[in-house]
Structure 1
Amino acid sequence: MTRYADRIDALARRAERDRQAFERGEVPATPAQALTYLREGVGPAVALYIDARTGNETVRFSHREFDRLERAMNDWLALYTACHGVRTEPEFTVREAAQLLIDTHHIGDVARLLTKVPAREPGAPARDARE
């Protein structure tokens, strides 16, 4: 286990709680809530991965840690798409998401590029100014 194990476990537990609350109808399926899942879920999960991979000492996660981190990120991406009326079961790697975040510097763009949700209308700006 790495020094990130406790943070990964906390993220995984929160993703599970968020998914259960959403499935019980306790959370509204709105675009605003989708952004919350990105900012409070996907973003921190991807940032943890980037931190572990770019520090002075590159961390090698255990299989359990890596699986839990990816599952949490994908759970939040599923909630993000559900808030836009699209049911998905994403299977993206945290590495894919991290590379996109490094390239775009915007977690909303990362989610859109990975999930293709919401679909952009021709001529629409790349992101909502409120994000």
Structure 2
Amino acid sequence: VAAESVANAEIQSSEEPQASRFTWTIESFSRLNMKKLYSDVFIVGGYKWRVLIFPKGNNVEYLSMYLDVADSSTLPYGWSRYAQFSLAVVNQLSPKFTIKKDTQHQFNQRESDWGFTSFMPLSD
């Protein structure tokens, strides 16, 4: 079963918010055995982002999925950025079972990723 994660990040600035779509296709998702997995880095609004998943859950029985500031460890002290975004798992066999969740967050050094610890049950 292939899973697809879609992260849309809109960056708030003095200009119009920038919107983009990033699709991450994961082959053999049910056979992943690592604790966490990062997507490739993508750029929205001049910022580097990536999607972070915990295929077996982040200490819960759910798929955990977050948007992560990819270069947070190298950003200057006091950095902050705001994003509105959606994360989705697309069911390629039956699109009606696709799950999408929306959120927003002011990212900073202490909270450089944000999303959903209990995105969807692993038993489904």
By percentage of residues, which structure has more helix?
Answer: 1
* Coarse TM-score class (shorter-chain normalised): 0.3 to 0.5
By percentage of residues, which structure has more strand?
Answer: 2
TM-score by length of 2: 0.34
